[in-house]
Amino acid sequence: MCGICCVVNLSASSQCVLQKHVREKLQNRGPHSSRDITETASRYSCLFSSHVLHMRGVLTPQPLQDDDGNTLLWNGEVFGGLPVGAEENDTKVVIQHLSLCKNPSDLLSVLSQVKGPWSFIYYSKVNQCIWFGRDFFGRRSLLWSCGSEEGSFTLTSVSSRLPDSDSSKWLEVPAVGVYRLDLKSCSQGGKLKLELYPWVYLGDEPSNDFSSEGLPSSVSLVMNNAGLQLNFPVNPMNTSIQAVDSNDEPNHTFSLTSSDDLKEFLLKSTKKQELVRSLIDVLSEAVRRRVQSLPYTDNVSPTETPKSDEAQVAILFSGGIDSMILAVLADRHIPPDKPIDLLNVAFKLQERKMNQGSKKKQHKNKNNGEHVNVSVNDITSSDQRTSNCFDVPDRITGRAGLQELKKISSSRKWNFVEINVTQEELKEMREKRICHLVHPLDTVLDDSIGCAVWFAARGTGIVSEGAEEKDHTSNAKVVLTGIGADEQLAGYSRHRVRFKNSGLEGLVKELAMELGRISSRNLGRDDRIIGDHGKEARFPYLDEDVVSFLNSLPVWEKADLSLPRGIGEKLLLRLAAVELGLGPSAVLPKRAMQFGSRIAKLENNHEKASDKCNRLVTS
Ligand SMILES: *[C@@H]1O[C@H](CO)[C@@H](O)[C@H](O)[C@H]1NC(C)=O
Ligand SMILES: *[C@@H]1O[C@H](CO)[C@@H](O)[C@H](O)[C@H]1NC(C)=O
Ligand SMILES: *[C@@H]1O[C@H](CO)[C@@H](O)[C@H](O)[C@H]1NC(C)=O
Ligand SMILES: *[C@@H]1O[C@H](CO)[C@@H](O)[C@H](O)[C@H]1NC(C)=O
Ligand SMILES: *[C@@H]1O[C@H](CO)[C@@H](O)[C@H](O)[C@H]1NC(C)=O
């Protein structure tokens, strides 16, 4: 993970300045090397500023320049697509490929080959233009702003929320394509012209569905006139809603309620078994790519070699099925003597709200008529520490999940890091750091998730060893998150509503829409939040091969929403979980992080998740 930034000024006479508060945030993302390069031509000047987090290989400072003076700022990981040797650095590999490009279409072809998350800024000196953008999912953040002065333009991984009086306005760069800023033509007219090169599925017409909304009038965003485009590195979604072969129809003769039922169901269908194994294979490989090639596997820089008893990989861990599967698969690929940190965040419940909370919960379960035998309440009652104010639902399922993991892999050291956050600390850190990172997103939901993920990823908590509680801070630079599973496998309750009201057709549309907007809803924000700790967020469920595999399946193979909660949604993943040896966690219903961690309970109960959050506004 790196912090990258570029400030363009269309009058060479005025200096490009990177504001101090932005630089600080960039440095948090890239603590190991910082460098600025200024390029001045007759009519413009550019400041390129890169802050590098060293992940593997030899530290490669950025901005990186080739012999012709082309400059690359790369905030990404090449996990495939372009060959990167074990000792090679991906930033170098990318610039080598870009240097060879003779025209825009060469450059687009390089970018669409890359598998892995990225955002980048590339200054082509000969052509006097700047290319920039985010991968097709927007797994890395990039913001743009057109400063208050005419003719200035800034790109940055992260910025900060300023009092409303400040006129510079930040927006996430839409992950709909890559952009080209022509400095020559700009400087003549004093207006900025941005060309868009859109992401499309092979063979599709590019849609004209982009807008320059929010961009000031001094910038014009246009589709590139050569009609060039980038090919999506994944298969399009299978929108089929009717099985051709009746053998493929969902079979409702089973009533599935427990993980044992799922096991039995799986045994009876060889076709399902095949699918489940394919899913496990592709997901396992995605996890492998994200947990290997870390500092401990190639100790090139001895001063930085991590202590051998420290985990190199951490998982945002609620004990729910998405994070459990990541843990089981990570266990396969991480050397057996290395610990794995499971980061579990809880916000303090006040006494009054605690009682309310548990009453409500029981009430709900009765009314839902759920048949699923494992519920939070069952686990709670068998747990001694019921009265603890940090015993939020995710803490309880997290502990249960830990027990399951210990059964599956008993020799592994699992550090279950209990991260307890008080209201005071939440308030302090939200004002100091988190509100800036969430920016420019601004809803109640962004606030809740942003804060929960920030504290979880910081990894400061306690680990119990026997009866002893020890302070523990996770220093793992790689943080795996389960995001993307619900969007692809119909895990949210709104999917049920959609299915009920408009059937499979409605469900397919909903899933396609959600996958399309995941960059602007979640990924940029989560990248900024996790990156702030000098750690790198990695999303195995959004690996290109995983997405391609899931997209190729018709929706009824992924979920069966006629089955009860805890079973029907993400059905295929639940089957994969039992195949991997998981038990009760395989049938836990989805609980959104803001409720599981109870952060949403701390705040005003009458807010809607989509409301603008006034706690994020600084004065
Ligand atoms: C390349 O070097 C940068 C900076 O040292 C680092 O962040 C990145 O992880 C490296 N990539 C590879 C593939 O070695
Ligand atoms: C549905 O399940 C029943 C009961 O096991 C089985 O006999 C039947 O073959 C299944 N049908 C399909 C289409 O899989
Ligand atoms: C729930 O568990 C009880 C005993 O533990 C068992 O008798 C019952 O059949 C289970 N119900 C379901 C729906 O699995
Ligand atoms: C954190 O909360 C857990 C309950 O989930 C409790 O057992 C532990 O003692 C708490 N630790 C601290 C340091 O407050
Ligand atoms: C979509 O799924 C159906 C049913 O399995 C299959 O027949 C069809 O080939 C799939 N389409 C694509 C494009 O993969």
Q: In what order do the strands lie in the sheet with 460-465?
A: 468-473, 460-465, 414-421, 340-347, 313-316, 478-480, 536-538
Mean local confidence (pLDDT), 156-180: 83
Indicate if ligand 1 lies below 6 Å from the C-beta of 89.
yes
How far is the C-alpha of 201 from the C-alpha of 114, rounded, in Å?
15
User: Between helices 524-531 and 444-458, what is the axis angle to 10°?
Assistant: 40
Question: 603 C-alpha vs ligand 4 centroid, how far in Å?
Answer: 21
> What torsion do the CA atoms of 444, 445, 451, 452 make, to the nearest 10 degrees?
140
| pLDDT one-digit tens code per residue, 472-489 | 999 999 999 999 999 999
Nearest ligand for residue 558 CA: 5
* Contact predicate 1/117, CB 8 Å: no
Q: Quickly count: other Cβ atoms within 10 Å of residue 403's Cβ.
A: 15
pLDDT value of residue 594 = 85
The answer, yes or no, to whether residue 32 has pLDDT greater than 90, is: yes
The answer, yes or no, to whether residue 87 has pLDDT greater than 90, is: no
120 exposure class (CB count in 10 Å sphere: 0-12, 13-18, 19+): buried
Sign of CA dihedral 314, 316, 320, 322: negative
Question: Hey, which residues does 180 pair with through a beta bridge?
Answer: 131, 195
| Pairing, β 177-182 against β 219-223 | unpaired
Where residue 166 falls among pLDDT bands split at 50, 70, 90?
A: low
Mean local confidence (pLDDT), 80-89: 83
Indicate if ligand 5 lies below 6 Å from the C-beta of 244.
yes
Task: Specify the DSSP class assigned to residue 115.
Answer: B
Question: 253 C-alpha vs ligand 2 centroid, how far in Å?
Answer: 7
Indicate if ligand 5 lies below 6 Å from the C-beta of 240.
yes
Residue with CA nearest ligand 4 atom 14: 420
How far is the C-alpha of 4 from the C-alpha of 442, rounded, in Å?
23
| pLDDT one-digit tens code per residue, 504-535 | 999 999 999 998 889 888 999 999 999 999 99
Mean local confidence (pLDDT), 592-604: 83
The answer, yes or no, to whether residue 118 has pLDDT greater than 90, is: yes
Mean local confidence (pLDDT), 73-98: 90
pLDDT value of residue 615 = 87
> Which of 487, 499, 507, 493 has its CA nearest to residue 554?
507
Give, for ligand 4, the residue of 418, 424, 455 to mutate: max count of ligand atoms closer than 8 Å to Cβ. 418
The answer, yes or no, to whether residue 35 has pLDDT greater than 60, is: yes
| pLDDT one-digit tens code per residue, 258-278 | 888 888 888 888 889 999 999
Indicate if ligand 5 lies below 6 Å from the C-beta of 235.
no
pLDDT value of residue 220 = 83
The answer, yes or no, to whether residue 352 has pLDDT greater than 60, is: no
The mean-pLDDT minimum among 127-141, 224-238, 365-379, 556-570 falls in: 365-379
pLDDT value of residue 364 = 38
pLDDT value of residue 296 = 42
Give, for ligand 5, the residue of 547, 552, 555, 556 to mutate: max count of ligand atoms closer than 8 Å to Cβ. 552
Where residue 16 falls among pLDDT bands split at 50, 70, 90?
A: confident
Where residue 4 falls among pLDDT bands split at 50, 70, 90?
A: very high
Amino acid at 562: S
Quick check: helix, strand or coil at residue 406?
helix
Residue carrying the six token digits 């600084």: 618
Mean local confidence (pLDDT), 313-332: 97
Q: Which atom of ligand 5 lies nearest, measured to the CA of 238? A: 1
The mean-pLDDT minimum among 61-65, 396-400, 412-416, 606-610 falls in: 606-610
Residue with CA nearest ligand 3 atom 3: 373
How far is the C-alpha of 515 from the C-alpha of 547, rounded, in Å?
10
Q: Which positions ≥6 away from 66 have C-beta within 8 Å?
A: 72, 95, 96, 99
Indicate if ligand 1 lies below 6 Å from the C-beta of 76.
no
Q: What is the pTM of this model?
A: 0.88
Computed over every residue of the chain, the mean pLDDT equals: 86
Where residue 383 falls among pLDDT bands split at 50, 70, 90?
A: very low
The values of phi and psi at residue 415, to 5°, are -95, 100
Q: What percent of the chain has pLDDT above 90?
A: 60
Q: Which positions ≥6 away from 526 have C-beta within 8 Å?
A: 449, 453, 481, 483, 537
The mean-pLDDT minimum among 355-359, 389-393, 557-561, 595-599 falls in: 355-359
Mean local confidence (pLDDT), 346-356: 67
Task: Specify the DSSP class assigned to residue 108.
Answer: H
2: annotated active-site residue? yes
Residue with CA nearest ligand 1 atom 1: 89
Residue with CA nearest ligand 1 atom 9: 55
How far is the C-alpha of 580 from the C-alpha of 488, rounded, in Å?
20
Mean local confidence (pLDDT), 219-233: 89
Question: 120 C-alpha vs ligand 1 centroid, how far in Å?
Answer: 14
Residue with CA nearest ligand 2 atom 13: 247
Give, for ligand 4, the residue of 390, 399, 402 to mutate: max count of ligand atoms closer than 8 Å to Cβ. 390
Amino acid at 257: T
Residue carrying the six token digits 């009652």: 381
Nearest ligand for residue 347 CA: 4
Question: Hey, which residues does 182 pair with through a beta bridge?
Answer: 129
The answer, yes or no, to whether residue 346 has pLDDT greater than 90, is: yes
> Which of 369, 375, 592 has its CA nearest to residue 492?
592
What are the structural domains, with CATH classification, of the chain?
2-231 (3.60.20.10), 265-324+337-345+422-616 (3.40.50.620)
How many helical (H) and strand (E) elements, i.e. helices and strands, does the chain have? Answer: 22, 21
pLDDT value of residue 386 = 47
pLDDT value of residue 193 = 85
Quick check: helix, strand or coil at residue 376?
helix
